[in-house]
Amino acid sequence: MLKIHPIPAFSDNYIWTLIDASEERACVVDPGDATPVIDYLTANNLALTDILITHHHPDHTGGIAELTQRYSPAVYGPMNERIQGITQRLQEGQRIEVFGLDFSVIEVPGHTLDHIAYFSDSNTTPILFCGDTLFAAGCGRLFEGTPETMLASLEKLAALPAATQVYCTHEYTLANLRFASAVEPDNQDLLVRVQTEQAKRNADKPTLPSNLTLEFATNPFMRCATPSIKAAAEQYAGHAVDTKVEVFAAVRRWKDNF
Ligand code: ZN
Ligand code: FE
């Protein structure tokens, strides 16, 4: 059985670590810092064979150089030449194999323009490493993309199987839920989720992975076609918003100022 373990880094990052069935090899996603990764691999006697990178931000790429020097792993990442140390640059639709799992690459520009996600349905439950694109009850800030590009990217992820386990990079869930509750105070699924996620944090556990079913029910950015979200967006904007992109743009602006 393949395992997926979160290595905490910085104040709220998780470096997701896939461990092969023999428990000898590991693959890390977005190692922003090499130190906690080296500590974990050493403590568990694991060799690092693969690194997956989703986008260029330092909190996702900062550990590549040191880990490469120490373990010489294959390093997969976006086409962006600015990211140093990538050994195989990937585009939409390309496939890679890690520990018998077949991952396909999905381009998801918005948070950054180079952002990619990794999806595999060769596991019992499908898995998605989505970096800073989709968060539990939220989505990444639009540093480089437009609302159009980000919404299109989220819709690509929404088309994946509903059971997909969503491995995001940051533990932003409670803050995102506070915002989601302001947007949809009457959403019952949201009220329930606030309780479950708060309980996990009280027990010092990660709220992640999430899954797409839960995101469809509680994530305002995945619910832009829902009348309650549209109404809230109109109230925030102070005028009628007609398209899904306008709804998304208004809710994103609202979150940025929340
Ligand atoms: Zn980022
Ligand atoms: Fe990040």
The ranges assigned to domains in the chain are 1-87, 101-258
Q: What residues are neighbours of ligand 2 (ion), with CB under 5 Å?
A: 59, 132
56 catalytic? Reply is no
55 catalytic? Reply is yes
The angle at the Cα of 173, spanning 168 to 177, to the nearest 5 degrees, equals 135
Mean pLDDT of 229-249: 97
132 catalytic? Reply is yes
The 10s digit of each residue's pLDDT in 27-76 is 999 999 999 999 999 999 999 999 999 999 999 999 999 999 999 999 99
Q: State the pTM of this model.
A: 0.98
H or E segment to which residue 167 belongs? strand 165-168
pLDDT (0 to 100) of residue 1: 74
Q: Which ligand is nearest to the CA of 10?
A: 2
The 10s digit of each residue's pLDDT in 175-199 is 999 999 999 999 999 999 999 999 9
Q: How far is the CA of 59 from the centre of ligand 2 (A)?
A: 6
- Name the class of domain 101-258: alpha beta
Write down the H helix ranges in the chain: 34-43, 58-61, 64-71, 147-158, 173-183, 188-202, 212-218, 227-237, 244-256
Mean pLDDT of 18-34: 97
* CATH topology agreement for domains 1-87 and 101-258: yes
Q: Is the pLDDT assigned to residue 114 strictly greater than 90?
A: yes
* Strand-pair category, 101-107 with 134-135: unpaired
Quick check: helix, strand or coil at residue 129? strand
pLDDT (0 to 100) of residue 256: 98
Could you please state the CATH topology (level 3) that the domain comprising 1-87 is classified under.
Answer: Metallo-beta-lactamase; Chain A (3.60.15)
Mean pLDDT of the chain: 97
Q: Is the pLDDT assigned to residue 20 strictly greater than 80?
A: yes
Q: Among the options 55, 56, 114, 115, which is catalytic? A: 55
pLDDT (0 to 100) of residue 193: 98
The letter for the amino acid at 28 is V
Please tell me the distance from the alpha carbon of residue 253 to that of residue 258, in angstroms, as a whole number.
9
Mean pLDDT of 248-253: 98
Give me the helix-helix angle, 173-183 and 188-202, nearest 10°. 160
